[in-house]
């Protein structure tokens, strides 16, 4: 364990500053269980573990809140699994950089998907379901761009996203707003829900 920790911290200050010093209580068990680092987690396992953790604090839709318990659970899961993937790469368990990128990308997909749907679910308690003209639910598409879209994420890569809504209508209530207003609120809460260093864009 000490050898793994020394190799980890010897890489540079990034992991120390952003992970160990800030959340060592949550992340140190990852360092301690060195043998488990030899095995990659497939997306299905990441999804199942996140859903199990969220079920403990999220039993159903709640009014939107900056202090919603699921936000802390989601971010702790994200940070812990990012740290685990970084350690696997540093300790030589990912033979190719492409495998490292694949693991980071699958984690990002799981976290983005969960955060987006939880934000939308909570907002529906106030505004109802965003609908199309025929009454069917209006969906939003979330597209991954850049290295995320190319499945080439690396250390401290940006996660670039584009949110696309094709048609305009309104929600089902109780409070009525347009579908574009609803999804604008979803995106705003989504951005605040995930703890990460980010660069905002007006595009």
Closest C-alpha to 85, from 35, 40, 48: 40
C-beta neighbour count of 88 within 10 angstroms: 21
Q: Where are the chain's structural domains?
A: 2-193
Helix then strand then coil, in percent of the chain rounded to 5, is: 60, 10, 35
Reduce the DSSP state of residue 170 to 3 states and report it. Answer: strand
H or E element in which residue 50 lies: helix 43-55
Considering the entire predicted model, what is its pTM? 0.81
pLDDT at position 181 is 93
Cβ neighbors of 69 (< 8 A, separation 6 or more) are 57, 58
Of 10-19, 78-87, 113-122, 153-162, the one with minimum mean pLDDT is 10-19
Architecture of domain 2-193: 2-Layer Sandwich (3.30)
Is the pLDDT at 176 greater than 60, yes or no?
yes
DSSP secondary structure, 171-195, as one string: B-SSS--BHHHHHHHHHHHHHHHS-
CA distance 15 to 72: 20
Q: How far apart are CA 182 and CA 127, in angstroms?
A: 8
Label residue 94 by pLDDT band (50, 70, 90).
confident
More reliable by pLDDT, 80 or 2: 80
């Amino acid at each position: 364990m000490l050898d793994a920790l020394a190799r980890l911290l010897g890489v540079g200050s990034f992991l120390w500053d952003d992970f160990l010093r800030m959340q060592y209580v949550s992340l140190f068990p990852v360092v301690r269980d060195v043998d488990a680092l030899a095995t990659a987690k497939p997306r299905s396992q990441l999804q199942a573990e996140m859903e199990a953790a969220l079920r403990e604090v999220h039993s159903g839709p709640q009014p939107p809140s900056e202090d919603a318990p699921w936000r802390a659970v989601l971010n702790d899961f994200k940070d812990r699994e990012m740290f685990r993937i970084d350690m696997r790469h540093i300790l030589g368990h990912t033979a190719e950089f492409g495998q490292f990128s694949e693991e980071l990308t699958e984690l990002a997909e799981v976290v983005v998907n969960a955060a987006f749907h939880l934000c939308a679910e909570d907002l529906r308690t106030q505004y109802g379901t965003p609908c199309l003209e025929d009454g069917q639910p209006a969906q939003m598409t979330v597209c991954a761009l850049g290295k995320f879209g190319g499945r080439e994420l690396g250390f401290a890569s940006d996660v670039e996203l584009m949110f696309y809504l094709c048609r305009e209508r309104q929600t089902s209530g109780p409070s009525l707003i347009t579908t574009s207003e609803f999804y604008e609120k979803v995106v705003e809460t989504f951005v605040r829900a995930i703890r990460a260093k980010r660069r905002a864009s007006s595009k």
